[in-house]
Amino acid sequence: MQSDKLIRMANQISLFMESKPTSDEALEGLAAHINDFWDPRMRRQFVDAMKNESGLPARDLVREAVPLIRLSETEVQKPAAPPSPVGSEPISPAHRD
């Protein structure tokens, strides 16, 4: 399936989901719909298109949902963890005073 069509479909789903009471519900609803009803190959192509910014422009909600899309039945993308604050690493016994 072409990337433009996948982005168009995600944009249409997001229009419906934006009617949810909260933005969190809309985001979770969009990601759940794509994860539940799209074939893994469609999800992979969609995520690749979004990461490469190829194809149609995506609505904000669609862009926000990308990290929540499963690329396979068990794989969920995980955003990079923020760096630990300086000094928050545990001190090894060899370095204690």
Looking at residue 83, its pLDDT comes to 46
> Where are the domains positioned within the chain?
3-68
pLDDT along the chain (97 residues), means of 10: 93 97 96 97 95 88 97 61 51 53
Looking at residue 74, its pLDDT comes to 60
C-alpha distance from residue 89 to each of 78, 82, 84, 95, 97 (Å) = 22, 14, 7, 12, 16
Looking at residue 73, its pLDDT comes to 65
Q: What is the pTM of this model?
A: 0.72
Q: Rounded to 5 degrees, what are φ and ψ at 40?
A: -55, -35
- 83 DSSP assignment: P
Q: Which residues of 11-23 are buried (b: 16+ CB within 10 A; e: fewer)?
A: eebbeebbeeeee
Looking at residue 89, its pLDDT comes to 52
Looking at residue 4, its pLDDT comes to 93
Looking at residue 91, its pLDDT comes to 54
